[in-house]
Copies of this chain bind each other. A is one copy, B any other.
Amino acid sequence: MTPKFGVTAIGNAIVDILAPATEEFIAGQVQFGMRPNSMALITAERANELYSLIGPAIEASGGSAGNTMACFASFGGNGAYIGKVANDKFGDVFAHDTRAIGVHFESPPLVGGKPTAQCIILVTPDAHRTMNTYLGASTQINEDDVKEDLIANAQVTYLEGYLFDEPKAKAAFFRAADLVKKHNRKLSLTLSDPFCVVRYRDEFKSLVENHVDILFANEEELKELTQISNTDEAIKSIRGVCDIIVVTLGDKGSAIITPDKTIRVAPIMPKQLVDTTGAGDAYAAGFLFGLTEGKDLAECGRLGSLAASEVISHMGPRPLVSLKTLL
């Protein structure tokens, strides 16, 4: 019997605050820990300070795996999400947006603790995004939130590397990996961010070698994981470590690496390039939708490119049109 869910994802439940910014502004914030084109973790105080410095913004539900599930559902996939919001306005927004697109989401909100996580995302004129995350309530996700039936009834369980940043979330992560094994399902991991890989390289390596069936990484993350600076060499070194390794290559498309072959996937150019926030998340959604629908790998890659193309054509990390209608 086909499991009820194509994908169950676990991630940090975050509302994004997206604002245009200049490269000069970002350069001036590096001394305070900002990481151009990447993600930095920040405190509540720093979040308030940074918010007071940025220009007008828009708010949109985000979070890496949350974005992936929104795209997955937008393709018509049946998915579930596990993550922790607070019982506050942004928590309501995240829960609404997740459920409204048809993703099963039942994780109870945190009461009386930290507020819902937020990510201040600065988008430069070249459409690149620089992320600053206050994890708030999202770190209070725990093993109890990882309901066995959600994992048992999913073809693929998808985890974001960002979960490693907090002990409780990491415990939830490992519980999910154990349940995947118990129920003989597939485990998928995205490496999330090059700095995240640096923080947890050995653990990620062990995970990838021993547990992960489908790995997503971009070029920088792959180089950090393998510690090989040449992309082709890095790909050669990782081939066969998992069944499927997908390396996204920005405007050069992507490469799907199996034990015995490499499939190159062309990018799909958007009508206009506005904001790359969520591009990798959307790609993973398209790929996993194809995979759970029994498509061949080249088609999975094409669906990934299609989803990414929609998401980068406007501000915000989730699709504004039904991805199903783009098929």
Task: Assess the B96–A57 pair: CB atoms within 8 A.
Answer: yes
Interchain CB contact under 8 A, A101 and B320: no
The 0/1 profile, CB within 8 Å of B marked 1, for residues 80-97 of chain A is 000000001110010011
**Residue in contact with A272 in the complex, picked from B51, B61, B101, B272, CB distance below 8 Å:** B272
Question: Which residue of chain B lies nearest to A19 when distances are taken between CB atoms in the complex?
Answer: B100
| Copies of the protein in its oligomer | 2
* B318 x A315 contact (CB < 8 A): no
Q: How far is the CA of A299 from the CA of B60 in the complex (A)?
A: 36
Residues of B within 8 A of A55 (CB): 100-101
CA A58 to CA B20, docked complex, whole Å: 16
Is A128 close to B, CB under 8 A?
no
Starting from the known contacts A51-B96, A315-B320, 4 additional A-B residue pairs (CB-CB under 8 Å) come to: A56-B98, A57-B97, A58-B316, A274-B314
A326 within 8 A of B: no
Cα(A93)–Cα(B88), bound, Å = 14
Q: Name the B residues within 8 Å of A315 (CB-CB).
A: 314-316, 320
In the complex, A172 has a CB within 8 A of chain B: no
A51-93 near B? 1/0 per residue, CB < 8 Å: 1101111111100000000100000000000000000111001
CA distance A70 to B101 in the complex (A): 31
Separation of A20 and B97 alpha carbons in the complex (Å): 12
In the complex formed, the residue of B with least CB distance to A48 is B92
Does A59 contact B58, Cβ atoms closer than 8 Å? yes
A261 adjacent to chain B (CB < 8 Å): no
8 chain-A/chain-B pairs, Cβ below 8 angstroms:
A52-B96, A56-B96, A57-B100, A58-B60, A59-B93, A89-B89, A272-B272, A314-B314
Interface residues of A in 264-318 (CB under 8 A from B): 271-272, 274, 314-316, 318
A318–B20 contact, CB under 8 A? no
Which among A60, A271, A272 has the highest number of chain B CB atoms within 10 Å?
A60
Most buried by B among A51, A100, A316: A100
A97 close to B61 (CB less than 8 A): no
